[in-house]
Chain A
Amino acid sequence: MERHVDEELKELNKDILKMGALAEEAIYKSIEALKNRDKEMAKSVIDNDSNIDKLELAVDEKCIDLIARYQPLASDLRFITTGMKINSELERIADIAVDIAQRTLEIVDKPLLKPLVDIPKLTAVAQNMVKVSIDAFVKGDIALAKKVLLSDSEADHLRNVIQKELIEDYMVKDGTTAPRAVQLLLIARFLERICDHTTNIAEDVIYMVQAEVVKHHPEKLKNGK
């Protein structure tokens, strides 16, 4: 039986999908700007953030409005509250893309420290985790959510590889590389933070679908629940 609220829940789903697409685009552009030393693209990421902020507020408002008007229960309640939390995670992801763009602007006029190899790899992991976590939410798919959680160790590993190389091969050997190396270190750290936000989204999706809180309870996932 189609309910009046169903149409509005579908709209909310679409809005969150849009937030996800904008966050993904912001990450992509911030790293493209770094790879291509493209100031204009970096600035566009910073400029576009206000649009993402506006959408975040609109989605929040829609969720509050749905709660006030429909007093949702059970799966509807879990969907709307999870939607609110994911909305906030996506806005944070977009903010981190802005941080990456700002770091890019700091180093874009200086000679390239080294060819970028692992940062694009970490970027690909982060982008994929954002995409899959949003898919998991939109489809209510726990298998996809678990895939995101499993990807986090790869992100951590790549961040560690980048960190080790920048410190040991550059900063320790030649202190003059530090100003550029620190910016790249920060960018790697930012990308890894994005991945952490996607694991929050994945945990929220698991709660939404099966009403099981796995956040801060990794043993529940290991037990195959």
Chain B
Amino acid sequence: MSKIVTNNLNLWYGVFHALKNVDSAFEANRITAIIGPSGCGKSTLLRVFNRMNDLIEGVRTDGEVIIEDANILNSNTDLVVLRKKVGMVFQRPNPFPLSIYENIVFGEKIHGDRITRDKLDEIVERSLRDVLLWDELKDKLNEPALRLSLEQKQRLCIARLIAVKPDVLLMDEPCSTLDPQGTQRVEELMRELKNKYTIIIVTHNMQQAARVSDDTGFMLLGELIEFGKTEQIFTAPFDKRTEDYITGRYG
């Protein structure tokens, strides 16, 4: 079942045409990797899904992005609700300068009504368990989040999203600042999380895309050139441009 569908999606930054007629369908409970050279539009596409591009001056979009039967590009879309449903993890983990506990309940406090301490405790435990951090951090919940390792910070940021029960997790180069062990643990976490969430990851790391994703889309100069099962894209891509990029001939 498709969680996100784009129909003839176009996006301009001023006069620069950054996304060109993108038609795609992102399946629920799967990990989809978007790959492509720098500037191809992959992060732009990711940011369309929770309207993060709206923060950039001069952005214009047309076409459709359908999430749960609604075109989220419509002007009446409630962006707070949308961003709760479609959360985002960034390249560099960005916990707030608050305690671990406060980081996780931050979203719930914004989105939720008055909520009891017991309920918040429950959310913190569930979210940290989901990102496999509970055992490590359960006795340090009041310590500053900024003291955590990079990998723990990134997992905490994922926990902060999960706390508000999103449907979709967008990940923009989530492992680029992590060492191989940290990368491996975040990838394992992604595999766990896909049972509950739809995950879309943008990555420059081809091996990571091949390892972790179920589907892969290749973008070039704003176009979605090829989209398919990861196994097919990485062993037998249909389009020569995909082949050239993943074998390092593009340059």
Interface residues of A in 1-40 (CB under 8 A from B): 1, 3, 5
The answer to whether B235 and A73 have CB atoms under 8 Å apart is: yes
The answer to whether B248 and A78 have CB atoms under 8 Å apart is: no
0/1 per residue, B96-136, Cβ < 8 Å to A? 00000000000000000000000000000000000000000
Distance in angstroms between the alpha carbons of A77 and B210 in the assembled complex: 13
A213 to chain B, nearest CB (A): 10
User: At the interface, yes or no: B247 with Cβ under 8 Å from chain A?
Assistant: yes
Given contacts A71-B207, A73-B210, contact A78 B235 (CB under 8 A): yes
Smallest CB gap from B246: residue in A: A73
* Interface residue range, chain A: 10 to 19
Distance in angstroms between the alpha carbons of A5 and B249 in the assembled complex: 11
Smallest CB gap from A210: residue in B: B236
The answer to whether B249 and A3 have CB atoms under 8 Å apart is: yes
Smallest CB gap from A5: residue in B: B248
The answer to whether A75 and B247 have CB atoms under 8 Å apart is: yes
The answer to whether A1 and B249 have CB atoms under 8 Å apart is: yes
The answer to whether A3 and B248 have CB atoms under 8 Å apart is: yes
Interface centre among A1, A5, A75 (most CB of B within 10 A): A75
User: At the interface, yes or no: A99 with Cβ under 8 Å from chain B?
Assistant: no
The answer to whether B243 and A75 have CB atoms under 8 Å apart is: yes
B243 to chain A: which residues have CB within 8 Å?
Answer: 74-75
The total of interchain contacts (Cβ-Cβ below 8 angstroms) comes to 33
User: At the interface, yes or no: B206 with Cβ under 8 Å from chain A?
Assistant: yes
User: At the interface, yes or no: A120 with Cβ under 8 Å from chain B?
Assistant: no
User: At the interface, yes or no: B237 with Cβ under 8 Å from chain A?
Assistant: yes
A13 to chain B, nearest CB (A): 16
The answer to whether B236 and A73 have CB atoms under 8 Å apart is: no
User: At the interface, yes or no: A76 with Cβ under 8 Å from chain B?
Assistant: yes
Distance in angstroms between the alpha carbons of A71 and B235 in the assembled complex: 12
B18 to chain A, nearest CB (A): 26
Interface residues of A in 57-112 (CB under 8 A from B): 71-78
Distance in angstroms between the alpha carbons of A10 and B63 in the assembled complex: 47
If A1-B249, A74-B235, A76-B247 are given as contacts, then 17 extra A-B residue pairs at C-beta distance below 8 Å, sorted by A number, are A1-B250, A1-B251, A3-B247, A3-B248, A71-B206, A71-B207, A72-B247, A73-B206, A73-B234, A73-B247, A74-B234, A74-B236, A75-B243, A75-B247, A77-B235, A78-B236, A211-B235
